[in-house]
Structure 1
C-alpha cells in the first residue's frame, strides 16, 4: 500500500520527462529542417529554392531569403521581407537583425559605391537613419548600429536650430577681464 503512491509519482515524473523530451525532439527536427533550407538558400539560385523554403514561416529562413535577395541585387523584394520580419517580431533577435540589415541595405543604396562621394539618394539615407534609430530604441547597446548611424550622419548631417546655437555660443564667448571692457571674441 505504501509503495503505490511512490510508484504513481515516479510514473507521473517519467511521463513528464517523456513529454519534455518529445517536445525538444520535435523542436530539434524543425531546427534541422530550417538549417537545411537556409543552406539550400545560400548555395542555390532563387529559382531552385524548394517550395518549403519559399513558403516557410520560420523567421530564420525568411531572413536568409532576404539576405540572399539583397546579395543578388533584388533590393525591393529583400526590403519587403526585411520590413515584414522587423514588424512581425520587433523585439526578437531575428526582427532586430532584419531591421539592422534593412538599414544597411538603405545606407548602401544611398551611399553608392563609395562612402566618400556624394550621396545618390538622400531620401534613402534618411530612411536608413530612421531604421538605425528604431533599432537603437529596441537595443541601445548595439554598437554596430550606432557606428553606422554615425556614418550616415557624416554623409548627410541633419539641420539644427541655428538661432539657439548662436545665442549659446555668444554667451560662452563673453569674457570679463579686470580693468578691460567686455568685448565679443571674433
Structure 2
C-alpha cells in the first residue's frame, strides 16, 4: 500500500513538472516569435506601415523605436491602439509610460537640464504618467518620470483658483463716499 502511494505521488509530481515544462516551452516560442518580428522590423524601412495584427509586444517595440528615432507622429499612431486595448494591462501601462517618455523627451529637447521647449507636451507627459500609475501603481519608473516632469513644470493647487477669483482693491478718492451695492 505504501509503495502504491509513493508511485502515485511520483506520477502526480511528474505531471506537474511536465505541465510547467510545456508552459515554459510555449513562453519561449512566443518570445522567439516576438524577437523575430522585431528583427524583421529593424530590416524594413516602413515600420509604421505594418499591420496591427501582430503581438502587442512587437507593436510596442516598434512604437518605442520610432519614438527614439524622432518620428513622434508615427509612434503616436502605434501607441494609440495599444493604449485603447483592454486585453493586456501590462502592455497598456508600458505604452502609456513610453508615450509619456516620448512627450517628455520632445518637451525637454536635447538638453534635458535646460529650459523646456513645449509646456503642452510636458502636460501630456504628466497625464500619461498618471494614467500609467492608475493601471500599475507600483511602477517606480513612471513615478520618477512624473516627479521629473513636475520638477520641470510644477503644479500648485492655488494657481487655478487664482485665475477664477478677481482681485479686489479699495480705492479712496477725495470727496467720494463708498456705497454698498444692492
Superposed pair shares fold, TM > 0.5: yes
CA-to-aligned-CA distance 1:111-140 (integer Å, 9 cap, x gap): 111222221110110010001111111111
Structure 2 unpaired stretches of 5+: 1-18, 162-182
CA-to-aligned-CA distance 1:27-70 (integer Å, 9 cap, x gap): 765543332111222x32423x6x9x645331011111111211
Map residues 1-186 of structure 1 onto 2, 5 A cutoff. Answer: 29-41=29-41, 43-47=42-46, 54-89=51-86, 92-161=89-158
**Distance in 2 (alpha carbons) for counterparts of 1:22 and 1:116:** 50
Residues 1:55 and 1:145: Cα distance change in structure 2 (over 3 Å): closer
CA-to-aligned-CA distance 1:128-159 (integer Å, 9 cap, x gap): 00011111111111111111111101111113
Contact kept in structure 1, 2:97 and 2:132, CA below 8 Å: yes
**Distance in 1 (alpha carbons) for counterparts of 2:22 and 2:136:** 34
State the secondary structure of the residue aligned to 2:157: coil
Residues 1:121 and 1:55: Cα distance change in structure 2 (over 3 Å): same
Residues 1:159 and 1:94: Cα distance change in structure 2 (over 3 Å): same
TM-score calculated relative to the size of structure 2: 0.65
**Number of equivalenced pairs:** 143
**Distance in 2 (alpha carbons) for counterparts of 1:27 and 1:125:** 37
State the secondary structure of the residue aligned to 1:46: coil
Structure 1 unpaired stretches of 5+: 1-19, 165-186
Contact kept in structure 2, 1:115 and 1:155, CA below 8 Å: no
